[in-house]
Amino acid sequence: MRNLTRPDIVPPTLTSAAEKGYAISSGHWRNPDVRGLLRAVQGQSCAYCQSAMEGRGTPGTVDHFRPSSKYEWLAYRIDNLLLACNDCNSRIKNSDFPIDQSGAKAESDDDLPTEPRLLLDPVADPIDQLLDIDYIDERFSFRNLVADQDSIDFRRVRKTIEVLRFAKGADPTYQKLRIRALGAIVKKLDRHKSIKLSADQCAEVKLSACRWQPFGEMVQRLIRFHLPETDVIELCPTAEEECLWLIDDLATMFEEAPTTDDAERQRMEARWCLAALFLAPPNGINETVVRDRLNDLGLQSEIEAVAAQFAK
């Protein structure tokens, strides 16, 4: 899990839902414009476990952080939606969204800020101050960073680890994925300490540390844990580099005409994702960086037209 930031824009599907009162059962939150915006926030990784959504459930699903069955008024709100792998999505649903005994479930927007929920929200909570990986442990187990065991934050982290099965040995499949991804980087970092990696090898590590890549945030923290700052600068991508990599990856969807309905839907999702990046570049990136890259790729006019359909 890592800190996520949603842009202050709304996909047209969700604007229409607010105006027309879509039924929850209609499931329009799965539309490409919604998924595209969320992809611009998360890239290819699950909002909760950071694994590749294609790896734990193809192609991932739009998750209601607060379940629509209990929070109906949030069903079509972008501030309640995330992309999750199927495993994490089912575990969140099965948890019945636990509330601490110190308070009660929110019944309106006014109650949300003080609701004592027991699950971490990747957008609302400072994840990097609450939850981390033990980079000394060869199994890279999750650890609770909150010292005060009587605090709601401590209970929230503990419950999240329990619900998402982050505890050591709770999910062997996920643990193996995490060990494989981070263990490979450790070997490269150890080599870098003694014999500097080649330029190509550094570029590979740098791409693995991109936060839109599966486990990218974990890789960045691993690099910062193991190496001095001079090497961190060399091996960790800038926010601009991360954004351009995501754009280039999405642009490959436009190289050939789609031949199946699934391919067409994925292309539509990529189009909306690029439009979100065009309209609201992440991490304070200058908008001309995104516009120039889209122009170089011959996509600017097409993406600009799509971007005009978002509401602010």
Domain spans of the chain? Answer: 12-163, 172-237, 241-307
Q: Which of 192, 125, 137, 209 is nearest to 166 (CA)?
A: 137
| 3 state DSSP class of 81 | strand
Tokens of 260: 């199946």
Q: Is 283 left (phi over 0), alpha (psi -120 to 50) or beta?
A: left
Greatest mean pLDDT range, 23-32, 146-155, 178-187, 284-293: 146-155
What pLDDT score does 258 carry?
Answer: 83
Find where tokens 């280039």 sit: 248
What pLDDT score does 158 carry?
Answer: 97
pLDDT band, residue 138 (cuts 50/70/90):
confident
CB of 24 within 8 A of CB of 72? yes
Find where tokens 């790896």 sit: 55
What pLDDT score does 59 carry?
Answer: 65
CB of 91 within 8 A of CB of 57? no
pLDDT above 70 covers what percent of the chain?
A: 98
Tokens of 60: 């991932």
* Exposure string over 125-152, b if 16+ CB within 10 A, otherwise e: bebeebbbbebeeeebbbebebeeeeee
H/E run at residue 21: none
Find where tokens 């009660």 sit: 104
E strands present in 100-210? 131-133, 142-144
Does the pLDDT of residue 164 top 60, yes or no? yes
H/E run at residue 302: helix 300-307
Does the pLDDT of residue 142 top 80, yes or no? yes
CB of 66 within 8 A of CB of 80? yes
Does the pLDDT of residue 32 top 50, yes or no? yes
Q: What number is the average pLDDT over the span 223-239?
A: 88
Q: What number is the average pLDDT over the span 41-50?
A: 93
What pLDDT score does 162 carry?
Answer: 96
